[in-house]
């Protein structure tokens, strides 16, 4: 059985590799903005990240090579930061990243990650699991120079909430309440429980020769 990660996130890939897996990465082609818009303004944070995770995993089912589709499990994820009644994804630009940090510095936000697990056999999705997790993140207050240097590094532009826990952004996180792997982008405890419901034991996903993280 092959493990497939439906995400381009290097953080999620590192989480799985640190945990002994060697997933095949297949990036989905879903229109995230369209999915969010279809949910409507009243959608709750867990519903939004869950819908995005489910769409990514479902899209990758149709992208699987034939040999992989014979027997695999797909994990799709999406993360967003909830603060002041607003969900924030990847800022995309330096100006947006700076604005995000001006709002969250010295405060506490909630990092939501949706997880979709799809079991595929003989090219058919035979089991689907969907669940979201949330971790509270306490942000520090970087100096103006530190924030400028962090933004100039480019890292915050392509990550949910404009920060990382396992990268340069970790210097500016004072603490968390909950699962750290969820903040990185993939909650190992949650995925373990979801796999169990799909009758998949975690050791089946361990690689005999795990790659370097």
Distance (Å, whole) CA 198 – CA 117: 8
The phi-psi region of residue 20 (left if phi > 0; otherwise alpha if psi is between -120 and 50; otherwise beta) is left
Active-site residue flag, 78: yes
Distance (Å, whole) CA 99 – CA 213: 32
**Catalytically annotated residue among 78, 84, 146, 179:** 78
Cβ(191)–Cβ(115) below 8 Å: yes
Give the other-Cβ count within 10 Å of 97's Cβ: 24
CA distances from 199 to 53, 73, 122 (A): 20, 11, 17
Within 89-181, strands assigned E span: 108-121, 124-139, 173-177
Cβ(69)–Cβ(120) below 8 Å: yes
Kindly state the DSSP code that residue 27 receives in the 8-state scheme.
-
Give the other-Cβ count within 10 Å of 86's Cβ: 11
Sign of CA dihedral 150, 155, 156, 161: negative
Secondary structure (3-state) at 96:
helix
Positions annotated as catalytic residues are 78
């Amino acid at each position: 059985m092959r493990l497939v990660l439906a995400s381009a996130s290097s953080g999620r890939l590192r989480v799985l590799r640190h945990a002994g897996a060697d997933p095949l990465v297949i990036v989905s082609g879903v229109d995230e903005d369209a999915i969010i818009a279809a949910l409507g303004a009243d959608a709750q944070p867990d519903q939004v990240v869950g819908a995005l995770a489910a769409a990514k995993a479902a899209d990758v089912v149709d992208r699987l090579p034939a040999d992989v589709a014979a027997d695999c499990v797909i994990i799709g994820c999406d993360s967003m930061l909830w603060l002041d009644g607003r969900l924030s994804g990847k800022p995309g630009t330096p100006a947006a990243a700076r604005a995000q940090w001006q709002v969250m510095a010295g405060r506490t936000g909630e990092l939501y990650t949706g997880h979709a697990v799809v079991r595929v056999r003989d090219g058919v999705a035979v089991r689907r699991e969907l669940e979201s997790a949330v971790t509270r993140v306490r942000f520090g207050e970087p100096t103006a120079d530190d924030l400028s240097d962090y933004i100039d590094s480019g890292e915050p532009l392509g990550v949910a909430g404009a920060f990382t826990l396992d990268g340069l952004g970790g210097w500016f996180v004072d603490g968390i309440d909950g699962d750290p792997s969820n903040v990185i982008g993939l909650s190992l405890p949650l995925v373990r429980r979801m796999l169990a419901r799909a009758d998949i034991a975690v050791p089946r996903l361990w690689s005999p020769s795990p790659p370097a993280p």
